[in-house]
């Protein structure tokens, strides 16, 4: 039995794998007001389809659906089989409230006195 696969079959398998990654993932990267679907998201970076990914380098925003997760500074590390891999240089989590620029003391909810 032969385990040889033709180039056409291998190309179709890679395309099917990429299409499956696109359907599974809801993460998006926004660069220059354009959103691109993320194929794989890891701690060290993410990957995009090489056909639709422009020369992205610099500051991008990472979204989970419509929820803004992080602002990331990225560089392209490598390209393999039609997938471009990006690495984080810096990533900052976004906050839903504005930062406070002053110290706020914690207030007690109630005080129970001790009686002898």
The domain spanning residue 70 has which CATH number?
2.40.10.430
**114 in a structural domain:** no
Could you list the beta-strand ranges (E) of 19-105.
27-31, 34-37, 40-41, 45-49, 58-64, 67-80, 83-93
Residue 40's pLDDT band (cuts 50, 70, 90): confident
Mean pLDDT value of segment 73-95? 87
Lowest mean pLDDT among 14-28, 41-55, 90-104: 14-28
By residue range, what is the domain housing residue 52? 26-93
Beta strand 45-49 with 40-41: parallel, antiparallel or unpaired? antiparallel
Question: What order do you get walking across the sheet with 40-41 strand by strand?
Answer: 34-37, 27-31, 58-64, 67-80, 83-93, 45-49, 40-41
- Structure confidence at residue 30 (pLDDT): 92
pLDDT band at 6 (very low <50, low <70, confident <90, very high): confident
Examine residue 57 and state whether it is found in any structural domain, yes or no: yes
Full-model pTM: 0.64
Res. 21: pLDDT tops 60: no
CA nearest 49: which of 33, 28, 70, 75? Answer: 28
Q: Is residue 13 part of a domain?
A: no
| Per-residue pLDDT, 106 | 77
> Would residue 33 count as lying in a domain?
yes
Domain count, the chain: 1
* Placement of tokens 């979204």 in the chain: 63
User: Among 39, 15, 42, which Cα is nearest to 26's?
Assistant: 39
pLDDT in tens, 44-63: 999 888 888 777 888 999 99
Cα angle at 33 between 52 and 54, to 5 degrees?
25
Is 113 part of a structural domain of the chain?
no
Tell me, yes or no, whether 7 lies in a domain. no
């Amino acid at each position: 039995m032969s385990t040889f696969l033709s180039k056409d079959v291998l190309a179709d398998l890679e395309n099917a794998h990429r299409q499956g990654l696109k359907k599974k993932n809801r993460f998006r990267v926004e660069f220059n007001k354009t959103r691109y679907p993320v194929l794989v998201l890891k701690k060290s970076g993410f990957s995009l389809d090489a056909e639709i990914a422009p020369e992205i380098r610099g500051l991008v925003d990472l979204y989970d659906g419509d929820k803004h997760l992080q602002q990331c500074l990225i560089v392209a590390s490598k390209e393999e089989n039609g997938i471009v891999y990006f690495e984080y240089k810096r990533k900052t989590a976004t906050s839903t409230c504005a930062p406070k620029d002053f110290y706020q003391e914690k207030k007690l909810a109630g005080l129970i006195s001790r009686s002898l």
